[in-house]
Structure 1
């Protein structure tokens, strides 16, 4: 497992982008659980964020692709609206303990 960040560096309802081992990643904390994905839209392969660390739609309840507006469920990465509906973000195995948030990189 690779260290992503300290637990307090990802607040409830917050999204953050990371570059780890050359991979662009994103993490979101929802209902106390951390979800991590590759920062890559399945539609065009482009990074998702609007601005640095801005991955969520205006309601904060969905991950949104800045390029074409595709919407993804935070807890599964499934695209529920937009040009890649039915596809999903590439999820990473993620765990959290008092020392940090950790992800498993499939290199």
Structure 2
């Protein structure tokens, strides 16, 4: 596992992008749980964010692709609306302890 960030660097209902070992990834916190994904839309293979660290829709309840508006569940990465419906983001094994958030690439 590799250290991603301190727990307080990922606020509730927020998202952050990271570059780790040459790979783009992002993390989202929902209901106190951190989730991490490869930053790549399954439809076009492009990064998802609107602006730096902006991966969520207006309600902060779904991950949204800036390119075509596809919506993904935070908890699973499954696309629930848009051109890649039924496909999923690539989830990373993610855990959190007293030091912060960790991911397995």
Instruction: Map residues 7-86 of structure 1 onto 2, 5 A cutoff.
Output: 7-86=7-86
Q: Distance in 2 between matches of 1:29 and 1:93?
A: 14
- TM value normalised by structure 1: 0.97
Q: How many residues align structurally?
A: 105
Deviation at 1:9, TM superposition (A): 0.3
Runs of 4+ in 1 over 6 A off after TM superposition: none
CA distance in 2, matches of 1:61, 1:7: 19
Q: What is the CA deviation profile of residues 15-36 of structure 1, one whole-angstrom value per residue up to 9, with x for unaligned ones?
A: 0000000110010000000000
Shift of 1:100: 1.3
CA distance in 2, matches of 1:11, 1:79: 23
Any gaps of 5 or more consecutive residues in structure 2?
none
Stretches of structure 1 that go unaligned for 5 or more consecutive residues are none
